Amino acid sequence: MPLPALIASAALAAAFDHRGSACAVAAPGFGFSAASSSAAVPVVGTRWTGTLGGGVAIDDDGRELMLLARVSGRGSAVDVAALFGLRAYFRGGEERWRTFFDVQLAVPVWPVPLVGPRVAAGVQYEFHPAAGAFCAAGVQLGLGSAILIATDLSCGVQLRSYLFQ
């Protein structure tokens, strides 16, 4: 293989590792929630979800610090939560298929403030150095004036920029 082709393939492979990137995430989905008080947490049962936010890669393994907003609801009842945490990839580097694990602090802020952990696992396919598609499943615990247990399944896209490299 000629030297320019080797250099080009190495540059393309390295671009799939997320190092030095900032990302934007958008993911619709659905879930199920149960709560100790339907007055405090009106979205009980099956619900739709929408997640939007972003993050930055924080190390050479492509781990990302994420800040997301999630809205979920059913009918006229909605709830809004902020999610802050870490996304760690099990297969990184130049792999296009990768699995990941999210560990987050979930803070439902509407209609009542709650706080608790959220964990999720998923798979992502990098179809371009600046874009990938993913599906993830998660579970969340919320504590406060009510106890909330919520699950969700979502599929979405992650767009990346390497302007900060």
- Average pLDDT over the chain, rounded to an integer: 85
pLDDT at 5 over 60: no
> For the chain, which residues make up each domain, given as ranges?
3-161
**pLDDT grade for 3, boundaries at 50, 70 and 90:** very low
* Helix intervals (H) in the chain: 3-14
Q: How many CB atoms lie within 10 A of CB 11?
A: 10
For the domain with range 3-161, which CATH number is right: 2.40.340.10, 3.30.565.10, 3.30.70.260, 2.40.160.20?
2.40.160.20
- Mean pLDDT for 16-32 is 89
Residues 103-148: tens digit of each pLDDT:
999 998 888 889 999 999 999 999 988 899 999 999 999 998 889 8
* Coil, strand or helix at 48: strand
- From the list 131, 130, 70, the residue with the least C-alpha distance to 104 is 70
Tokens of 156: 């979405």
pLDDT at 149 over 60: yes
pLDDT at 56 over 90: yes
Predicted TM-score (pTM) above 0.75? yes
